[in-house]
């Protein structure tokens, strides 16, 4: 999945600033697609060069001027082309440095691995708490789209909750097995 297409997707709902886009990523899809604000602005510049988006400068007196981005017709066409294209990305797997560390952790004492897995589980639990804001975001932004579009947002949120809960359950099982070696 490219960041550019994600940005086009958000802009298909309405015009946004780079800041608005960063908030949209953070409040809705960050559990499966994290985007740094600097990368968003970089991609917006590329999209503008390709004429997939336009940029309107909003002059502000007390604050710096802001740029409001809108998707163009060619941007909508590109987004719909990408959305309809066959998806091979899932089958390529996911790069995960943490799992690589787990894979090679046999050279460390079990108690160190248990500590690492507990830390991972704790981070997942904190992340699950952060995800509690997602339904509110979906309800808030869901007012801007057709009701059936909001259903798809709920599908991805459900996947996120299920995935994070699976990570917690997996870490607990691993910890339990490692405790047998102590």
pLDDT, mean of residues 2-21: 92
Determine the Cα–Cα distance for residues 164 and 160; give it in Å rounded to an integer: 6
DSSP, residue by residue, 85-132:
S---TGGG----HHHHHHHTGGGS-HHHHHHHHHHHHHHHHHHHHHGG
CATH of domain 3-91: 1.10.10.10
Question: Model-level pTM?
Answer: 0.69
Question: Is the distance from CB of 54 to CB of 46 less than 8 angstroms?
Answer: no
Least confident of 29-33, 48-52, 55-59: 29-33
What's the confidence (pLDDT) of residue 99?
A: 82
Query: Cβ neighbours of residue 83 under 8 Å, at least 6 residues apart?
Result: 5, 9
β-bridge pairing 66-71 and 53-58: antiparallel
- pLDDT tens-digit series, residues 105-158: 888 889 999 999 999 999 999 999 988 888 888 888 888 888 888 899 899 899
Where in the chain are the domains?
3-91, 96-179
């Amino acid at each position: 999945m490219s960041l550019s297409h994600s940005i086009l997707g958000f802009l298909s709902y309405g015009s946004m600033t780079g800041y608005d886009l960063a908030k949209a990523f953070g409040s809705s899809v960050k559990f499966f697609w994290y985007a740094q604000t600097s990368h968003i602005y970089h991609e917006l510049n590329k999209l503008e060069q390709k004429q997939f988006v336009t940029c309107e400068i909003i002059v502000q007196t007390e604050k710096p001027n802001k740029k409001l981005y809108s998707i163009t017709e060619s941007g909508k066409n590109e987004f719909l082309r990408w959305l309809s294209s066959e998806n091979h990305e899932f089958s390529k797997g996911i790069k995960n440095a943490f799992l690589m560390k787990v894979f090679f952790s046999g050279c460390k004492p079990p108690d160190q691995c248990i500590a690492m897995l507990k830390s991972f589980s704790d981070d997942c639990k904190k992340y699950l708490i952060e995800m509690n804001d997602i339904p509110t975001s979906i309800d808030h932004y869901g007012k801007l789209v057709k009701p059936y579009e909001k259903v798809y947002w709920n599908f991805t949120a459900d996947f996120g909750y299920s995935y994070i809960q699976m990570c917690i359950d997996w870490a607990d099982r691993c910890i339990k097995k490692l405790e047998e070696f102590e």
